[in-house]
Amino acid sequence: MHQEGLSAKNLRVFYGEKEAIKGVSLDFAPREVTALIGPSGCGKSTFLRSLNRMNDTIDGVRTTGEIWMDGENINDPGVDVVLLRQKIGMVWQRPNPFHKSIYENIAFGPRYHGVRNKKELDAIVEDCLRKAALWDETKDRLHQSALALSGGQQQRLCIARSIAVKPKVILMDEPASALDPVSTAKVEELISELKQEYSIVIVTHNMHQAARVSDKTAFFYMGKVVEYDVTDKIFTNPSEKATDDYISGRFG
């Protein structure tokens, strides 16, 4: 187990009676990008959402097993989920900026967590937008609605929003699958930038994307991890036949 970083041990997730994640153990190191790949319905999103206990918000979901972060099992019922979620950011498939101004989208989280000083907030907003390579496009319209941005810009805004509360890990569920190729390239570039500071777990259906952005790759199949290894190894010389079949598009 990593001292720092995030690791899941024997994680199981049930939707009612149905077991969607069947005992998964994975370690995510700091400053590394891990890609989760696998056919539709194999449980990638379910697994990702259990890492920040977002599945708690769905009725009838039960999660067993351990998730370790900073020496604490965050799947323990006694853990304060509200505080926990600040440490683990999340980005969704469809961009979901708040129905607020660009500025507010970023400032909203930090302000809630205690940053009240206007100058400090301004600095956070600028810093996050710069990190998300969005500053030049938005600096003249910070107080306009975030909904007026393009889809790609909205998604980068959502990434900027998530880093504004200083998480350690960022979970991304197919963050580029609703975007055009140029925006996709920008988001991928951004991921490579962000990995200097954060550990990133990204779900993707795009094999090239996984190969481009990730350091490690986990192949999920029917609620289990079939293979977890360095990305180069997975894509050039996988140990499991199922992985090979999936990567080369022989089943989907």
Ligand X SMILES: Nc1ncnc2c1ncn2[C@@H]1O[C@H](COP(=O)(O)OP(=O)(O)OP(=O)(O)O)[C@@H](O)[C@H]1O
* Continuous segment of H or E residues that includes residue 166: none
Nearer to other proteins, 134 or 225 (CB): 134
Residues 6+ apart with CB under 8 A from 250: 244
Question: Are the beta carbons of 89 and 171 closer than 8 angstroms?
Answer: yes
- Which residue of 12, 31, 87, 212 would you call a contact of other proteins, by CB under 8 A? 87
Q: For residue 136, give the amino acid letter.
A: D
- Alpha-carbon gap, residue 17 to 3, rounded angstroms: 34
Range in contact with Mg ion (rule: CB under 5 A) among 40-48, 53-61, 75-83, 98-106: 40-48
As separate numbers, helices (DSSP H) first and strands (DSSP E) second, the chain gives 10, 10
Count of residues making up the chain: 252
Nearer to ligand X, 58 or 123 (CB): 58
**Closest distance between ligand X and the C-beta of residue 249, in Å?**
15
Question: Are the beta carbons of 7 and 68 closer than 8 angstroms?
Answer: yes
Name the binder of 15 from other proteins, Mg ion, ligand X, none, CB < 5-8 A by kind: ligand X
- Which residue of 41, 72, 208, 233 would you call a contact of ligand X, by CB under 6 A? 41
Name the binder of 43 from other proteins, Mg ion, ligand X, none, CB < 5-8 A by kind: ligand X
Q: Is 45 in the site for Mg ion (CB under 5 A)?
A: yes
Q: Which of residues 208-247 bind other proteins (CB under 8 A)?
A: none
Nearer to other proteins, 1 or 60 (CB): 60
**Closest distance between ligand X and the C-beta of residue 144, in Å?**
32
**Closest distance between other proteins and the C-beta of residue 154, in Å?**
12
- What is the four-CA torsion angle of 141, 144, 146, 149, rounded to 10 degrees? -50
Which among 22, 47, 21, 25 has a CA at the least distance from the CA of 36?
Answer: 47
Binding residues for Mg ion, rule: CB under 5 A, are 45
